[in-house]
Amino acid sequence: MTEGDSLILGIDLGTTNSLVGVVDSGLPILLADEHGSRITPSAVYFPMSEGAPVVGAAALRQRAVDPARTVTSVKRLIGRRPGEGDWVPPYRLGELGTSAVDVSAQILAHLRGVAERAMETTIRRAVITVPAYFNDAQRAATKRAGEQAGLTVERILSEPTAAALAYGLHRIDERKKVAVYDLGGGTFDLSILEMRDGVFQVLATAGDTELGGDDLDRLLAEWIWAQFDVGGRSGFHELPAVPRARLLEAAEEAKKRLSSSESHTVELPFFEAQRNLHVVITRADLERIARPWAERTRTHCLRALTDAKLAIGDLDEVILVGGSTRIPLVRQVVAEIFGREPNTSQNPDEAVGLGAVIQAGILSGSLRQVLLLDVTPLSLGIETFGGLMNIIIPRNTTLPCKAGEMFTNAVAGQDSMLIRVLQGERELAKDNWELGQVAVPFSPGAKGSARVGVQFSIDANGILQVLARDTVTQVDTVLEIQGTAVDVADERVEQMISESVDFAFEDMNERIWTEAKLKAEELLPAVDAALAQAGDAIGAEDRAQIVGAADRVRKVLADPEHSSRLLKEATQVLDDATQSLAVILVEQAMEASLERRGLL
Ligand code: ADP
Ligand code: MG
């Protein structure tokens, strides 16, 4: 197997831009093409002649000149039947002899090439992201495009989930709710995620497939044109294709500049006849234009919250995704909508790509340490008397960690204890997974006289060490378990958790029964012994009552019905009935002791 076989690409196949990356030596990285760019425009140009299709920035440059042969935003068409959706492209795929899947495959093959060049090896596997709202047909078509590009698609990942991974939110506590605000080139998506049982669930999505940075470019281009064309001779839309494209390009450039500077000058030499276009635009100008545009996202945000049945205050985090969220005004609008500052710790236009890379890294095992070692995926414990699971380290405990408990012998004269190390969420030991077992010897004594401390510790490498110490002899027994304590496949974790939920009721009943049974089984021989020792000291009636109560306990114990309630009641009656006997026993014991010491 060459190195490339184990590599899995993470790919953000965007409407406007696409990114590719890989985990290299444990670090998730996005890869640059030969021009040093990590962002590839999702554009394919089909030259008139035999020439091969051109992908990326070079294709985009052809759009102004040859819009009918330049395919952009093909993601809007993938997995849809002709006529489905209301977006009408400025090109006809049929006339170009291609399809949405083909074009997507060309983009993916280009990205694969970028990665292979950077990593100097062939790569055949990938994780590809799609919007959360993509249906099965759209996901399947995306997968097919990947296969056509020579890639085995290991997973189709939702974009907001990828973004949450990039923001490191998989490390936050269970049940945290996150709003993912994704404003890209042509689309706006708002997703609400909840971290549940270690995986993100999409609670709601909302958005507008006709709202993005492109719209702002158009508004800005119109404004620039109006500044230039003072007389108002013609509208922006009446301009010929080439000058219009030049203006749009300049507007986008100005918009991007104004995300970091306060003012920008648009210069287009020989824009019209001999006239040069020279327009100064300030951030305040842009913000005036952009305000209503950015405000259009508000209703979608509120809508998604309503769908998720959440109030704004229920959100724990708002993260920004998409190039357009680099605009300071957009960040301000987001803060206004959600009443809190959004998390801006990641590059918004790279977050989805980075998340895809992280997911790919997890799948290939190259990111195992980063991800899986931070918490225990399932509870760890040992089997105790009666076949019950005794949890020592609960699930989701942050690593490294250490915890322990004292145990004692259940049977007199016992000289060793078998420690079965278990993993899982079920109440009964038999339903959990056994990771290993070890016999711990101790000095035999009366029931309950042995003291064995059991300590679990998991180090940063995920190695579980079980240490059992006989506190009398100070002898230690150590069992080491590699990996399995923390490294469990997601599906198995999910299955264990869902079973624990499904069987919660039965499991609980079983545990209550077992505990009641242990108590009854402890009480019965004690009562027999007490009767034998002091039975003569109580009246016949009391004696009959105790014997009857004990028989009742035995009967309920033997009843296959396993009614915890009846058993508890019967045990309680027996306990109460033996009160007088217990008093007598204590008195007898005191007398004996005083006598021994010659005091009586
Ligand atoms: P998509 O997810 O739609 O493929 P992106 O997330 O890459 O696209 O967003 C592309 C959009 O982001 C474009 O409209 C682009 O102009 C805009 N954009 C990129 N960088 C900036 C910036 N610095 N300031 C403002 N807008 C930006
Ligand atoms: Mg995107």
Percent of the chain residues past pLDDT 90, beyond the cut: 50
Task: Domain count for the chain, please give it.
Answer: 4
Between 313 and 480, whose confidence is greater?
313
Q: Is residue 535 part of a domain?
A: yes
- Out of 293, 318, 353, pick the residue that ends a domain: 293
If asked whether residues 354 and 206 sit together in one domain, one would say yes
Asked if pLDDT for residue 173 goes beyond 80, the answer is: no
Q: Which ligand is nearest to the CA of 350?
A: 1
Q: Quick: pLDDT tens for 82-97.
A: 777 778 898 999 999 9
How far is the C-alpha of 384 from the C-alpha of 454, rounded, in Å? 12
Ligand 1 atom at minimum distance from 75 CA: 4
Please, which pLDDT band fits residue 371 given cuts at 50, 70 and 90? very low
pLDDT in tens, 103-156: 999 999 999 999 999 999 999 999 999 998 888 899 999 999 999 999 999 999
Ligand 1 binding pocket, CB closer than 6 Å: 14-17, 184-187, 212-214, 252, 255-256, 259, 322-324, 326-327, 349
pLDDT of the residue at 1: 43
Q: Say how many Å lie between the CA of residue 186 and the centre of ligand 1.
A: 9
Asked if residue 495 is part of any domain, the answer here is no
For residue 453, how far is its CA from the centre of ligand 2 (angstroms)? 54
Within this chain, do residues 67 and 168 fall inside the same structural domain, yes or no?
Answer: yes
The alpha carbon of 518 is separated from its chain's Cα centroid by a whole number of angstroms, namely 41
Query: The domain that contains 306 carries what CATH number?
Result: 3.30.420.40
Q: Which residue in 403, 409, 404 sits closest to 384, CA to CA?
A: 409
Q: What is the pLDDT of residues 1-15, one digit of tens each?
A: 455 678 999 999 999
CA atoms within 13 A of residue 143's CA, in its CB half-sphere: 14
Ligand 1 pocket: which of 11, 12, 17, 220 to mutate (most atoms <8 Å of CB)? 17
Convert the pLDDT of each residue in 385-396 to its tens digit.
788 899 999 887
Alpha helices, H only, 120-212:
136-148, 159-166
336 domain-assigned:
yes
pLDDT for res 591:
81
Ligand 2 center–CA 14 separation, angstroms:
5
Residue 373's pLDDT is: 42
CA atoms within 13 A on the CB side of 146: 27
| Residue 505 confidence class, pLDDT cut points 50, 70, 90 | confident
pLDDT digits (tens, 9 = 90+) for 30-67: 999 999 999 999 999 999 887 899 999 999 988 888 88
Same domain, 360 and 408: no
Nearest C-alpha neighbor of 322 from the set 39, 22, 541: 39
Average pLDDT over every residue of 217-224 = 96
The residue among 109, 113, 97 whose CA lies nearest residue 146 is 109
Least Cα distance to 21 among 176, 234, 166 occurs for 166
Lowest mean pLDDT among 231-235, 260-264, 451-455: 231-235
Of 273, 293, 313, which residue sits at a domain end? 293
For residue 436, pLDDT beyond 80: yes
499 within a domain of the structure (yes/no): no
pLDDT category of residue 232 using cuts at 50, 70 and 90: low
Q: Considering the domain boundaries, does residue 500 fall inside one?
A: no
Q: Atom 18, ligand 1: which residue's CA is nearest?
A: 323
- Identify which has the larger pLDDT, 571 or 42: 42
Give percent of the chain above pLDDT 70.
96
The residues that are catalytic are 12, 75, 159, 182
By C-alpha distance, which of 200, 196, 171 is closest to 498? 196
CA of 201 to the centre of ligand 1 (A): 26
- Please check whether residues 361 and 444 belong to one and the same domain: no
Average pLDDT score over the chain: 88
Picking from 489, 514, 547, the residue at the C-terminal end of a domain is 489
Q: Are residues 554 and 525 in the same domain?
A: yes
Do 257 and 304 belong together in one domain?
A: no
Q: Which two tokens stand for residue 121?
A: 């090896």
Q: What was the pLDDT predicted at 370?
A: 43
How far apart are the C-alpha atoms of 125 and 375, rounded to whole Å?
Answer: 28
Q: What integer pLDDT is reported at residue 372 of this predicted model?
A: 39
When pLDDT is averaged across residues 459-484 and rounded to a whole number, the result is 82
Rg (the chain; Cα; Å): 35
The reply to whether 570 and 587 lie within a common domain is yes
- Tell me: do 189 and 80 sit in the same domain: yes
Distance CA 575, CA 198 (A): 46
What is the amino acid identity at position 194? Answer: E
What is the position in ligand 1's atom list of the atom closest to the CA of 322? 6
- Measured CA angle at 215 (ends 349, 327), to 5 deg: 40
What's the rounded mean pLDDT across residues 367-382? 67
Asked if 426 and 569 sit in the same domain, the reply is no
Q: Are 202 and 196 in contact (CB under 8 A)?
A: no
**What was the pLDDT predicted at 17?**
97
Give the residue among 407, 476, 397, 475 at the shortest CA–CA distance from 447.
407
Average pLDDT over residues 360-378: 69
- Which atom of ligand 1 is nearest to 349's Cα? 6
Q: What are phi and psi of 573, to 5 degrees?
A: -60, -45
Confidence (pLDDT) at 40: 97
Confidence category of residue 374, pLDDT binned at 50, 70, 90: low
Q: Is residue 566 part of a domain?
A: yes
Choose which residue among 349, 352, 354 to substitute to test ligand 1 binding: the one with the highest number of ligand atoms within 8 A of its C-beta: 349
Residue 494 lies in a domain: no
> Which atom of ligand 1 is the closest one to the Cα of 42?
4
> Which ligand lies nearest to the CA atom of residue 209 in the structure?
1
Higher pLDDT, 468 or 412: 468
Q: What does the pLDDT look like over 400-428, one tens digit per residue?
A: 788 888 888 877 888 888 889 999 989 88
Average pLDDT over residues 462-489: 82
What's the confidence (pLDDT) of residue 497?
83
Question: Token digits for 154?
Answer: 């290991």
Residue 521, domain CATH: 1.20.1270.10
Mean pLDDT value across residues 523-540: 82
- 140: containing domain: 3-211+296-373
Specify the CATH number for the domain of residue 479: 2.60.34.10
Q: Are residues 17 and 99 in the same domain?
A: yes
* Whether residue 219 sits in one domain with residue 200: no
Per-residue model confidence (pLDDT) at position 522: 85
Residue 190 in any domain: the answer is yes
Same domain, 330 and 473: no
Going by pLDDT thresholds of 50, 70 and 90, the confidence category of residue 460 is: low
Instruction: Report the CATH number at residue 241.
Output: 3.90.640.10
Q: Are 171 and 332 in contact, with CB atoms under 8 Å apart?
A: no
